[in-house]
Structure 1
Amino acid sequence: MTDHPHQTTSIQLLSTDRAELRTFASPEDVVGGYAILSHTWDTEVKEQTYQEIVAIGDECYISGDNPRDFVSEKIRQACLVAQEHGLDWIWIDSCCINKANSAELSEAISSMFRWYASAEVCIAYLADVPGDDEPGSPDSAFRKARWHNRGWTLQEGIAPFEVYFYAKDWSLLGTKHDLHEVLEEISGIPSAVLRHTAHYSTFSVAQRMSWAAGRQLTRPEDVAYSLMGLLNVTMPTIYGEGSRAFHRLQQEIMKQTGDASLFAWGPLLDATVVDFDAAVANIRDRVVDDSAYLLATSPKDFRLFNNAVFTPDLTVPIDPYLPGQFVSHPKDAEVPVNGPFGERAIPRFSMTTEGVKFRFPVIRIQDATIAVLLCESNGQHLGLLLHESPDAGEDPTRPRFRVGWPCVGAERGWARLVTLGNNLNDLHVGTRWTALQVNWETLFVVDRMPALKRAQLRPSATIHEVLHQPVYPFPFFFSSWILHRLTNLGWKVVARPISGNEDSPFPVALEFEHWEHTDRRFHVIVGTCFQGVVTPAGAPINQAGFSARWAKVYFDGDEAGASPTIHDCATDHITPARLSFRTAGDDAVRVVEVSFQGRGPAVNPALLPPRIVLEVKMGGTDLVDLVDDVLRTA
């Protein structure tokens, strides 16, 4: 990928002496340069807007007062600090963009990385850090500052050469160059990138995505828009499109690069540790999970791949993908004609109506398919596990594939990736499959869940749809707003059907996992039971609403997880007298309570209503209200 082309988007700046707005044709037209503010928006005091700054300027024009005396304290102090740096102009996102003008807002978002990179000085204001803080100490307020966790501040910390960090009282805490080691520990961004001794674009797409994995944004679209500069792409901003923005971002990345680390995310099967032959189960006919598709749903998916690198050197595409490849060859050096897989090539992919047209080296093992991504992580080459898509109505001449296999021993029993050894000339999985035959092939891989199916599997319906019970409707209800809140707070809820028996034919496992605190993963098993159920005269035993419900909750590793479908009717049935189930982990922090309440009219007063609302609490706090601090201190 290349740097951003020169753009002519105008920029509005505040004068540091009077806080008056002025428009410049481009950042390069600002004689003497400008400062730029990086901050987190105040949650208690409303940030001043463009319209308010204009209004203050108009009033002061009549009164003869200095507008800077009437702006917010944050804006006034930022102007004063910029003046101390000898700069006459400053850009502040809250008041230098007319957000009422959608075209101007879109241009500003597309240009923002460049604006930060062009600034003489970036002033990073940390409102939650006291002036006497020691940033380098292990428990410093600097390390816990909100600034490190916000999505937009990722590019604001990387793009400018000079970043000065200021505390709540506007005292200087240090510079980016002073604190580069601490910043690397906090953010995972390599020190070389922060100090500009290595260009961010020399790092793989997966690595750059991983830098954003722990960051939060208010609007779902901004997850994508805040990464455009860092990934060297531009695209229209469409607020209201939701998570589709991140999908469009990945499509734009595919147009710009052959870096296949874009697909290196999700659960990994380490074939050096797990027996590959024993691990691979029958490939599922149907998987309701976004990890079954090629493109990620969030930067959080890349959190474990901050060291995934793309093997071919894209700057010299004819070089081999072997050790020493980054050493420049003399112009007269003899370059081998063939690569490790026959023809000399790098991966290619493009969007089509059939999904992503995907040209990669491919391994065929019996009925299994593995695409060699030409990516390395921890010294191991990565393969993408593929299975043929069961979607109906496809072109038989263009079979489509989905991603992932169910694997014993993999995280959550499911893997997208597998290790292939450390030698591209001798790829292998496990001990049995050695000397693998690898050939370049063109495949079509489903990039995301089809729109129709995604609509059918809206959050409130996912748990029901995963089971496809035509006779017996799912007797539990999970509110869509709760799932939405869980997602925004970093939680993932996955429904897994599990085999029952004649007396308990309808169990399902709900897995709750937080993207950061994976050790807190817990499971809720809910199901039905026909043993000892009294029904009205003539009512069939399997009629919806006339079976008992039961529930269990446990953490990974608990004894209850060994036999998830087996329940005790005396202790696990949900009854009017027993609507709450509780479990505790081994650390006193992991405490989960699952409670039920009736929803809708009862089919029979002697029985529970046919639909039951599931509510979850953890550590005594509603799960939907959990934040990182609660997780650490509950």
Structure 2
Amino acid sequence: MWLLSTDRAELQYFNSPESVPGGYAILSHVWDTEEQSFQQTQAYKTQCLSSGENPRDLSTEKVKQSCILAQEHGYHWIWNDTCCIDKTSSAELSEAINSMFRYYSLADVCYAFLRDVPSKGPLVDEDDVERSFGYSVWHERGWTLQELIAPPYVLFLNRDWDIIASKTDHANMLEEITKIPAAVLRHEYGLEDVSVAARMSWAAKRKTTRPEDEAYCLLGIFSINMPTLYGEGRRAFQRLQEEIMKNYPDTTLFAWGTPWEYSTEAAWIAGHLASSHLLTDHSYLLAPAPSAFGSSGDLVHWMPTVDGEKQKSRSSSSLSLVSLSRSPSRVHVGIPTFSITPHGIRARLPVVERLGYTVGVFSWFMGKTQFGLLLVPSPDSFDPRVPRYNIGVMNTEGHHRLISLGEKNDAFELFGKAATAQWKEIYLAHRAQPGMEPEVVTRSARILMSFSMYSPFRFSQSNLAEFITQHGSLRAVCTANPVGWTGEKPMEIPFTIRGGGRPRPAFRLRLGLCPNHLDDFRTTGRHWAKLDLPGAEAPTDIGMHNCAADHVHTWPNMTTTIHVPDQADVLIYRRARTAVDGITLTVSPYAVKPEDTFVIRLFWRRPPRGGETTET
């Protein structure tokens, strides 16, 4: 562990936090664009050996002021993540990331520097300071979550390095800002007293610069150690959840996503569309990112204990020790078990089955209502004798994973009617199969005509990737995909939605060069493009088009939009995540060959929400 001397800002190595004589201070902050590195700090020391200067005077303002403050408070050493980690060493970086929660928890004091909070003065009153404190970007970053929770003693500093208050003094205000219970911030309760889902919910709205850090910044929150592999993307968050699953009996790890609000059978049937088996990144047991836990903060897990009573894991909103006075249910005799296999998570748990639907029982409660996990037979089950399930259904309101099982502890209700539970062994799809992750799917959407110099049209690869990613199940399929396509023979590119069974059509794009020998193409040009929705009559010839409407030069701003009619066969991709009512196609001259080639970009057209229509 490297620490800075507070008098000279020189680096000194210690074997462990416990071996630092007199203890140490630690800095929490939001990184600026330019920060002092480990190498720069060593260089200042070397430079000052000959000049006789103090390296602290050459350091950045953040390093210098934090050292000065710690020295004034009687500390000889301070830890700063910008310059106390040699980030050129992957081993040292991994060790620091896995040890960071411990570093903060063992510090004598943590200085939380809020660069965007002003000092109180003639033009800034106490209310302005509190308002700035509440809106500080410090509360929005992933890494500052553990830096807030781990150290017992935190002093918040404004932009002038003046003390605002301690964490304990501001615990109630911090609870309003962060949704972390004040009792946890005051260390009256430990993290082990809070459900996994509640802890995840604290990170739901926080941001990190790199996707891997969404997982790495939570390692200490769950007392997990695992190798850091920058470059793995959000696979890191999948690994973190797998480690949590191995170490925690708390199944609220799986209790993320949107509950289904309908409680009656009639309402269920009315809202359940044929798109229920479509696969998205919400169709798996493990969450794609911490943001998926945004609605899980109030969910608790009840576990059976030896005496037949139940042990409650606490939610974020309440750390009350008052029992809900539920009598033990016979169906809960035993504890659900889970193990990772190549085919998914092998689970033994009670399930409720009714009307062809299966709901996993995990003893989750939100208020007085028990929730279960809605299970849907997987389209790619490897063995019909051992069922494999995906999670949730999708309709116009979004993807729904959780469903009410009523308010009774010794009985269940499903769709408003009584149901029973039985213990079963099943497989649960916990993540997309190798090769079907979003980034892999995006790469597979490349359309080969885009890579020819002579193609009259080409796709913007970044736009195509974003367009497809915004709808987790969309695929671009071009069976006739010749390199060297000239446009004389029209091309059709079907876009389909992947789900259970065969792919469903979403729309198709037809492209070509008009063969009509007009006297003057300077007005309309030869390039034409047409979007067709499902249900539209397929042309007998894919080259059929309306010259006045489909030639790209005739479009206002070289842009055209098709509107999605309100009908079931196209509602399969009208869900909350996209919420589209149309598709917009734009073309622009390709810079390399502006006269001959146009670049295609596609956008989802979103319906207005009290304002103008937006396109993304």
> When the two structures are superposed, what TM-score results if normalisation uses the length of structure 1?
0.73
> What does 1:148-159 align with in structure 2 at a 5 Å threshold?
148-159=139-150
Q: Which runs of 5+ in 2 are unaligned?
A: 315-319, 448-456, 476-491, 499-505, 517-526, 538-545, 563-579
Asked whether 1:38 is paired with 2:21, we answer no
Counterpart residue number, 2:357: 368
- Contact kept? 2:152, 2:187, Cα under 8 Å: yes
Whole-Å Cα distance in 2 between the matches of residues 177 and 52 of structure 1?
A: 36
Equivalent of residue 306 in structure 1, options 297, 306, 325: 297
User: What's 1:76 paired with?
Assistant: 64
Q: Which residue of 2 aligns with 1:577?
A: 554
Q: Which residue of 1 aligns with 2:400?
A: 415
CA distance in 2, matches of 1:317, 1:595: 63
Query: Aligned in 2, Cα 1:527/1:64: closer, same or farther, shift over 3 Å?
Result: same
Q: CA 1:507–1:323 in structure 2 vs 1: closer, same or farther (change >3 Å)?
A: closer
1:385 matches 2:367: no
Residue type at the aligned position of 2:235: R
What is the aligned partner in structure 1 of residue 9 from structure 2? Answer: 19
> What secondary structure does 2:553 align onto?
coil
1:127 corresponds in structure 2 to: 115
For 1:594 and 1:63, the matched residues in 2 are separated by: 64
Match of 1:437 in 2: 420
2:436 counterpart SS class: helix
The structural deviation recorded for 1:259 is: 1.0
1:195 to 186, 193, 207: 186
Aligned residue identity for 1:34: Y
In 2 relative to 1, CA 112–268 (structure 1 residues): closer, same or farther, beyond 3 Å? same
Cα distance in 1 for partners of 2:495, 2:581 equals 23
CA shift at 1:266, angstroms? 1.4
Match of 2:343 among 331, 354, 358: 354
What amino acid does structure 1 have at the position aligned with 2:375? Answer: L
Please give the alpha-carbon distance, in whole angstroms, between the structure 1 residues aligned to 2:612 and 2:58: 45
Report the alpha carbon displacement of residue 320 of structure 1 after superposing the two structures with TM: 3.2
Conservation of the 8 A alpha-carbon contact between 2:111 and 2:154: yes
Shift of 1:286: 5.2
Please state whether the residue corresponding to 2:414 is helix, strand or coil: coil
Q: 1:534 to 1:25 in 2, by over 3 A?
A: closer
Q: 1:138 to 1:94 in 2, by over 3 A?
A: closer
Distance 1:484 1:165, change over 3 A: farther
Question: Does the 8 Å CA contact 2:411/2:420 hold for their aligned counterparts?
Answer: no
- The alpha-carbon distance between structure 1 residues 367 and 17, as it changes in their structure 2 partners (threshold 3 A), is same
Residue of structure 2 in register with 1:555 after alignment: none
CA contact (8 A) 2:559 2:587 kept: no
The amino acid across from 1:101 in the alignment is S
- 1:471 is matched with none
- How far apart are residue 233 of structure 1 and its match? 0.9
Change over 3 Å in CA distance of 1:97–1:138 after alignment to 2: closer
Q: Which amino acid aligns with 1:225?
A: Y
Does residue 237 of structure 1 match 2:252?
no
Residue pair 2:529, 2:550 contacting (<8 A) in 1 also: no
**Distance in 1 between residues matched to 2:171 and 2:547, nearest whole Å:** 59
Per the alignment, in what secondary structure is the counterpart of residue 418 of structure 1? strand
Letter in 1 for 2:11: L
The answer on whether the counterparts of 2:438 and 2:472 sit within 8 Å (CA) in structure 1 is no
Match of 1:247 in 2: 238
Which of 442, 446, 455 does residue 429 from structure 2 map onto?
A: 446
1:364 & 1:96 partners in 2: Cα distance?
A: 56
Q: Does 1:97 align with 2:85?
A: yes
1:596 positional shift: 0.6
Change (3 A) 1:577 1:461: farther
Match of 1:549 among 531, 547, 554: 531
Separation of aligned partners in 1, 2:2 and 2:530: 65
- Give the match's secondary structure for 1:114: helix
Output the amino acid matched with 2:392.
G
C-alpha contact (below 8 Å) 2:509/2:529 kept by paired residues:
yes
Q: Provide the rounded CA distance (Å) in 2 between the counterparts of 1:135 and 1:582.
A: 52
TM-superposed deviation, 1:206 = 0.9
Checking the alignment, whether the CA contact within 8 Å between 2:285 and 2:391 is kept in structure 1 is yes
Q: Distance in 1 between matches of 2:220 and 2:433?
A: 28
Cα separation, partners in 2 of 1:223 and 1:135, compared to 1, 3 Å: farther
* Alignment-derived partner of residue 106 in structure 1: 94
Structure 2: how far apart are the matches of 1:622 and 1:415?
25
CA deviation vs aligned residue, 1:367-400 (integer Å, no higher than 9, x gap):
22110121112332111111111116x1333221
Shift of 1:162: 1.2
Distance 1:460 1:620 in 2: 33
Shift of 1:84: 2.6
Query: Structure 1 CA distance, aligned partners of 2:71 and 2:468?
Result: 44
How much has 1:573 moved relative to structure 2? 6.9
Amino acid corresponding to residue 213 of structure 1 in structure 2: A
TM-score by length of 2: 0.75
Contact 2:118/2:129 (8 A) holds in 1: no
Question: How much has 1:246 moved relative to structure 2?
Answer: 0.5
- For 1:500, the equivalent position in structure 2 comes to none
Query: Residue in 1 aligned with 2:489?
Result: none
Shift of 1:88: 1.3
Secondary structure at the aligned position of 1:346 is classed as coil
Q: What is the distance in 1 between the residues matched to 2:276 and 2:264?
A: 27
Aligned to 2:482: none
Equivalent pair of 1:14/1:21 in contact (CA under 8 Å)? yes
Q: Which whole-Å deviations, capped at 9, do the CAs of 1:531-555 have from their partners, x for residues lacking one?
A: xx99759xxxxxxx9873269xxxx
The aligned counterpart of 1:542 is: none
- Root-mean-square deviation (CA, aligned residues, Å) is 4.3
- The secondary structure found in structure 2 opposite 1:48 is coil
Equivalent residue number for residue 29 of structure 1: 19
Check 1:153–1:348 CA distance in 2 against 1; reply closer, same or farther (3 A cut): same
Number of aligned residue pairs: give it: 530
The answer for the alignment partner of 1:278 in structure 2 is 269
Which whole-Å CA distance do the structure 1 matches of 2:51 and 2:296 have between them?
A: 58
Of 131, 134, 151, the residue aligned with 1:140 is: 131
CA–CA distance in 2 between the matches of 1:397 and 1:136? Answer: 65
> How far did 1:453 drift?
2.7
Q: Distance in 2 between the 1:81 and 1:621 partners?
A: 52
- Structure 1 residues 105-127: Cα deviation after superposition (integer angstroms, max 9, x where no partner): 11100000011011111101111
Change (3 A) 1:395 1:199: same
Does the aligned pair in 1 maintain the 2:548–2:554 contact within 8 Å? no
The structure-2 alpha-carbon separation of the partners of 1:274 and 1:52, relative to structure 1 and needing over 3 Å to count, comes to farther
Deviation at 1:623, TM superposition (A): 7.4
1:452-485 Cα distance to aligned partner (Å, 9 max, x none): 2337952265699xxxxxxxxxx99563467569
Q: For the Cα contact (< 8 Å) 2:260–2:403, is it kept in 1?
A: yes
Quick one: which of 165, 170, 187 aligns to 1:174?
165
8 Å CA contact retained: 1:350, 1:357: yes
Aligned to 1:48: 36
CA shift, 1:527, in A, is 5.6
Task: Single out whichever of 223-232 and 371-380 deviates more from structure 2.
Answer: 371-380
